[in-house]
Structure 1
């Protein structure tokens, strides 16, 4: 294990980003075809396993790459520009590793981190607090989970799952980390939405699934300290970064098409399509909107790293300020992204709507993603801060 740890740690930041750049180029080659097919991006997930990038936020002393959140999210954004489905499952890998770190004890998460490095585990999500159909019943050995879940992103083709269940008579949420192939777990290939078509966000059934006491994340447990409440903020910032990456990818595709395929409108006084004043106006609006979203997202990522470094010394006020920064970035990225991915056709024209290009995938992906946690409620939180100086109350969505 020691030699393996040293080899991982020997990777420089430039090496890590070069691997990510190579993978992004690889994902881009088949992104359009895979968007049409849906299903599991098996080859892409295996490429991520082989790359070592699944261990980005695992500290070097446990064999990981020891990256910070800013660099990890920069790579998520790089992937999202070309393939937001793969970016989604890749980002959730790090969210779920953060979950066991924040909610569990070192005796739990340290061995899981080391096994993730050694076995190249991909983690999947079955933690859906709004879906309370799965129940946890205590017994002499620990618990049994029984019920169903929806929106289990990345669960298919995963090695480990983070699962939530409600404890009877208390509505208290119990969260555990389980091997995906544990007896009684059934995952379904039933994700067929208009966007994010390769996130495998389908359903799962848990039929009297055995959960040992050491697999339950009880101490400090979910959302029990300011530090543990970083989990929802990491999740919200991941969504923000994916929105931003989608919008940047859409702008890059629009630019390529405008410069190589767009024809000058017959009544335009410009000498070429790329000098048309209306086209330039749209691109100026796109760029200004994206610049604002970029700056807000990058500020929030830097603040997350500062909060993460404080660990249990993080206080409620510092956590609250981060929540405001993340909410502002998310609202801006969602609005700018939806506008850009819709209006990109104003600068590419009718021929760009051909199904062969599937340029609509950028809007479809962002539209599906942005509905899972309504922007309106983020605006409400921001309004309460702006008017009443009140930070958002920590929850799984704030």
Structure 2
């Protein structure tokens, strides 16, 4: 395993409260400008958040999933793009934790703590454009391209999946982002989630050493990685719904005007506006409650380790889907209702109040909602628990 170049010297650390305040202050402007949030990512590292998912035996925080997702929700409430980046760094760390052998776990998990690595994601087995050619010594050469590679720009390490045309199976590996032959492209230009560094990555004769190849175990415990990923998305949606509600409330208190037929002197006394805020609040707190319930179920399953049974894992998949459906809808609905609550002047472009809906709209397209509702419906009607897949 080669020596990885350390990131630039860190700035003074920030606690979570200060971090949230700093991110909130620049969120609208950065949303308009897009690009790479190098300064803000440094703040996140300085706050000590990059090691939340690293087990304590390797020097990390060893935080429970309930606590990790609480942090992600708080970040998403002010900046869902950077919450996405932190969530996906935690996800890649988990990939090393459950797929790595003892030597790989020690090397990469300790390295994540010592060097404060940001992790990029080039794992999508459905995208077979990246081809892995065996080199005969247990390693591979990678050639091709991957899309939707969240967090790769500005990362030090990345996890990768590639297609082995001989076996027809995916190959998983971990490589330094700056390895020769890897090019991270600045071609991410969506309507939302604009600072998630999710462009494409190309690979030309990229060497993967034998000790960089990961073996994905076929066990219920290892397959929790998929549910960890889905709960990252769920809590991003919850944070977006909460953030939209926060922004609507602040705008109405500062700029709201009562409608001429309301019969009240201030907007906050308008009965229809009160009704609208009640509905938005109910959606946001319902989504959070189900997200917390799912995180608690995940924590219980995670603690069981290799003794985890398939039935228990399936029940975690069910509550994860239930939470994600509600959070998905809440993020979109509250982001849209914000404008019904705030009125026409709230569409002033520099306010960027549309970013909550835009970010939710981009992120909720990660995988189809219909199939998740189908899984819940199968259980509700027939008692059939979800099967293990790339998304459940």
**CA-to-partner distance for each residue in 1:57-88, whole Å, 9 max, x for gaps?**
21222111121111111111110001000000
Q: What is the match of residue 19 of structure 1?
A: 15
Judged with a 3 Å threshold, the aligned counterparts in structure 2 of structure 1 residues 388 and 171 are, in CA distance, closer, same or farther, namely farther
**1:58-77 alignment, distance < 5 Å:** 58-77=54-73
Q: What is the match of residue 102 of structure 1?
A: 98
Question: 1:285 aligned to 276, 279, 284, which one?
Answer: 279
Q: Residue 137 of structure 1: CA displacement?
A: 1.1
Q: State how far apart, in whole Å, the 2-side matches of 1:227 and 1:377 are.
A: 23
Q: What is the match of residue 180 of structure 1?
A: 177
Q: What is the match of residue 13 of structure 1?
A: none
Q: What is the match of residue 164 of structure 1?
A: 161
Q: State how far apart, in whole Å, the 2-side matches of 1:230 and 1:208 are.
A: 32
Normalising by structure 2, report the TM-score. 0.95
**CA-to-partner distance for each residue in 1:328-360, whole Å, 9 max, x for gaps?**
000000112211100111111111110010100
1:189 aligns with 2:217: no
Secondary structure, in 3 states, of the residue corresponding to 1:394?
coil
Normalising by structure 1, report the TM-score. 0.93
Q: State how far apart, in whole Å, the 1-side matches of 2:56 and 2:295 are.
A: 21
Q: State how far apart, in whole Å, the 2-side matches of 1:77 and 1:110 are.
A: 29
Q: What is the match of residue 10 of structure 1?
A: none
Q: What is the match of residue 289 of structure 2?
A: 295
Structure 1 segments of 4+ aligned residues over 3 angstroms from their partners: none
Q: Retained in 2: the 8 A contact 1:21–1:78?
A: no
Question: 1:315 aligned to 299, 306, 309, which one?
Answer: 309
Question: Tell me, which stretches of 5 or more residues in structure 2 are unaligned?
Answer: 1-12
Q: State how far apart, in whole Å, the 2-side matches of 1:114 and 1:138 are.
A: 28
Q: State how far apart, in whole Å, the 1-side matches of 2:347 and 2:319 are.
A: 36
Q: State how far apart, in whole Å, the 2-side matches of 1:150 and 1:128 are.
A: 9
Q: Residue 49 of structure 1: CA displacement?
A: 2.1
**1:232-247 alignment, distance < 5 Å:** 232-247=226-241
Question: 1:376 aligned to 364, 370, 374, which one?
Answer: 370
Q: Retained in 2: the 8 A contact 1:186–1:204?
A: yes
Q: Residue 270 of structure 1: CA displacement?
A: 2.2
Question: 1:202 aligned to 199, 203, 207, which one?
Answer: 199
How many matched pairs? 379
Q: State how far apart, in whole Å, the 2-side matches of 1:44 and 1:177 are.
A: 25
Q: State how far apart, in whole Å, the 2-side matches of 1:20 and 1:175 are.
A: 34
Question: Tell me, which stretches of 5 or more residues in structure 1 are unaligned?
Answer: 1-15
Q: What is the match of residue 9 of structure 1?
A: none
Q: Residue 50 of structure 1: CA displacement?
A: 2.3
Q: Residue 259 of structure 1: CA displacement?
A: 1.0
1:214 aligns with 2:211: yes
Cα RMSD (Å) of the superposition?
1.2
